[in-house]
């Protein structure tokens, strides 16, 4: 790989520092070797100089909550032997990369395929967004289990349903919720020793029955302690006020969709705690247009009589309060790639119908960023929410999240200032990953799900 210098762009370095006009960034050996004013930049003869005058240079984006295999309809998964979902994972990682998201944190997915594709991308054998993944949400079952989308498995042989679920569960599924805290600890320890995952996620709230709690305080502490002992960060999926509080008390490093608390907003005490501890919190922000559309639909939530409307209104209150209080928010929105059959799927069809911005990797981060600004977040803070905040929350800020010498050379060069208008995140001039300019037109190389839809 040739060394490259990007010169003349306005630098938004992701540290929160003021924009630097007419800057230059030099990348060498996959890393950022020099950052400064364009006039000062090194003049090595071997350097390929890319004129980025008038453009905006920022860190490659990170996404704190994706699911690279999210369209789990049988017609998608059953094309493959259980677990051999590499093609799906790779397509999604390439869709992300094409859109400037150079690192994705997959918070629930099929372990073996994720591990193989992560390793292939890390080793340069495949092109795609850098993947870091959790495997299962400890305590939940797989995609066709009662914890997620049992309706998708209703017409299937139970042996097939079990085989697919196991690819997500890997021994840390729903069975753990029947165990004592001591037994949970042992099972998690064994899992961490062999699974090759990058971080730990567990169920504080039960997933489908989100008003309920999956683990006792002792069990939650055991999981967090084992994660830390293995050198990994730990995060929790909480969806109700008390579960959120229990997760915080258990010592998690990151709250997934911490703004989702069911029909009642989080208590002030919890909000204060999140702010004071600077506890990173993925918020499921969306545009007003989308929120208004969802409010009109009158669906139910968490398999109870609670209306979706109430839940959205409580979430809006949480979002407003978190932003106002200056909480450390992260971009994330359960983004994945959906093929055309999702529109008539028994599970995803009703969710996507009438949604003006149905979740889709490669697009939905733009909704999030637009929504953040609409919610009153400073555009500069929104940039942090998708760069250095995420890197820090996941403990990879020594490598990723800012444009600073020594970091991995993941860059996004835009034709217009994203702080002026979040839509400008889509006006991509260059995506650079590990020091190389990505050939975006080639991605995804094998459009398994996106082919028909985008054709």
The C-alpha atoms of residue 243 and residue 226 are separated, in whole angstroms, by: 20
- Do 45 and 3 contact (CB within 8 A), yes or no? no
Using the rule CB under 8 A, is 46 a contact of a copy of itself? no
Q: Which residue in 421, 411, 312, 404 sits closest to 366, CA to CA?
A: 421
Q: Which residue in 121, 50, 36, 60 sits closest to 410, CA to CA?
A: 60
Residues 60-79 that bind a copy of itself (CB under 8 A): 73-75, 78-79
CB 90, min distance to a copy of itself, A: 20
The C-alpha atoms of residue 291 and residue 259 are separated, in whole angstroms, by: 14
Report the C-alpha dihedral over residues 431, 434, 435, 441, rounded to 10 degrees: -30
Per CB under 8 A, the list member of 1, 47, 275, 306 interacting with a copy of itself is: 306
Cis-peptide, bond into residue 444, ω within 30° of zero: yes
Beta strands in 74-177 (DSSP E): 101-106, 130-133
CB 152, min distance to a copy of itself, A: 4
Using the rule CB under 8 A, is 312 a contact of a copy of itself? no
Using the rule CB under 8 A, is 156 a contact of a copy of itself? yes
Using the rule CB under 8 A, is 159 a contact of a copy of itself? yes
Using the rule CB under 8 A, is 174 a contact of a copy of itself? yes
CB 216, min distance to a copy of itself, A: 4
* Between 200 and 213, CB nearer to a copy of itself: 213
- Do 400 and 391 contact (CB within 8 A), yes or no? yes
Using the rule CB under 8 A, is 87 a contact of a copy of itself? no
The C-alpha atoms of residue 169 and residue 175 are separated, in whole angstroms, by: 10
Using the rule CB under 8 A, is 186 a contact of a copy of itself? no
Cis-peptide, bond into residue 403, ω within 30° of zero: no
Per CB under 8 A, the list member of 212, 273, 351, 428 interacting with a copy of itself is: 212
Per CB under 8 A, the list member of 19, 181, 295, 380 interacting with a copy of itself is: 181
Using the rule CB under 8 A, is 180 a contact of a copy of itself? yes
CB 375, min distance to a copy of itself, A: 23
* Between 157 and 194, CB nearer to a copy of itself: 157
Using the rule CB under 8 A, is 262 a contact of a copy of itself? yes
* Between 99 and 359, CB nearer to a copy of itself: 359
The C-alpha atoms of residue 155 and residue 161 are separated, in whole angstroms, by: 10
Terminal C-alpha separation, the chain: 33
The C-alpha atoms of residue 418 and residue 404 are separated, in whole angstroms, by: 19
Interface ranges with a copy of itself (CB under 8 A): 73-75, 78-79, 144-146, 151-160, 162, 174-175, 177-183, 206, 209, 211-219, 240-243, 245-246, 262-264, 266-267, 270, 303-306, 340-346, 349
């Amino acid at each position: 790989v040739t060394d490259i210098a990007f010169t003349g762009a306005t630098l938004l370095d992701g540290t929160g520092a003021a924009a630097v006009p007419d800057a230059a960034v030099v990348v060498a050996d996959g890393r950022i070797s020099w950052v400064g004013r364009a006039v000062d930049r090194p003049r090595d003869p071997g350097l390929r100089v890319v004129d980025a005058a008038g453009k905006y240079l920022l860190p490659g984006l990170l996404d704190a909550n994706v699911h690279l295999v999210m369209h789990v309809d049988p017609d998608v998964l059953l094309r493959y032997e259980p677990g051999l979902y590499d093609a799906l994972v790779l397509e999604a990682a390439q869709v992300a990369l094409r859109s400037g998201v150079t690192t994705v944190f997959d918070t629930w997915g099929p372990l073996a395929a994720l591990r193989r594709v992560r390793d292939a991308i890390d080793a340069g054998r495949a092109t795609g967004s850098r993947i870091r993944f959790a495997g299962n949400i400890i305590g939940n079952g797989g995609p066709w289990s009662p914890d997620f989308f049992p309706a998708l498995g209703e017409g299937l042989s139970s042996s097939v349903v079990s085989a697919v679920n196991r690819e997500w569960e890997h021994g840390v599924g729903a069975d753990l919720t029947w165990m004592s805290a001591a037994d949970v600890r042992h099972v998690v320890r064994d899992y961490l020793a062999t699974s090759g995952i990058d971080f730990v996620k567990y169920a504080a709230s039960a997933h489908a029955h989100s008003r309920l709690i999956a683990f006792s305080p002792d069990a939650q502490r055991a999981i967090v302690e084992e994660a830390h002992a293995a050198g990994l960060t730990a995060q929790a999926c909480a969806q109700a006020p008390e579960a959120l509080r229990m997760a915080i008390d258990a010592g998690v490093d990151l709250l997934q969709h911490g703004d989702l608390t069911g029909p009642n907003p989080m208590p002030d005490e919890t909000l204060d705690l999140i702010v004071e501890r600077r506890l990173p919190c993925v918020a499921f922000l969306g545009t007003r247009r989308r929120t208004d559309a969802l409010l009109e639909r009158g669906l139910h939530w968490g398999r109870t009589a609670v209306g979706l409307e109430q839940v959205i209104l409580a979430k809006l209150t949480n979002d407003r309060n978190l932003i106002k209080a200056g909480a450390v928010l992260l971009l994330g929105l359960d983004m994945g790639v959906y093929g055309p059959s999702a529109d008539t799927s028994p599970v995803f069809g009703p969710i996507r119908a009438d949604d003006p911005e149905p979740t889709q990797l490669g697009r939905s981060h733009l909704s999030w960023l637009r929504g953040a600004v609409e919610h009153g977040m400073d555009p500069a803070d929104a940039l942090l929410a998708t760069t250095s905040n995420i890197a820090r929350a996941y403990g990879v800020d020594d490598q990723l999240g800012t444009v600073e010498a020594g970091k991995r050379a993941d860059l996004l060069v835009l034709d217009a200032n994203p702080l002026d208008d979040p839509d400008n995140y889509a006006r991509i001039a260059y995506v650079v990953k590990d020091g190389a300019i990505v050939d975006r037109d080639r991605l995804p190389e094998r459009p398994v799900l996106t082919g028909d839809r985008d054709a």
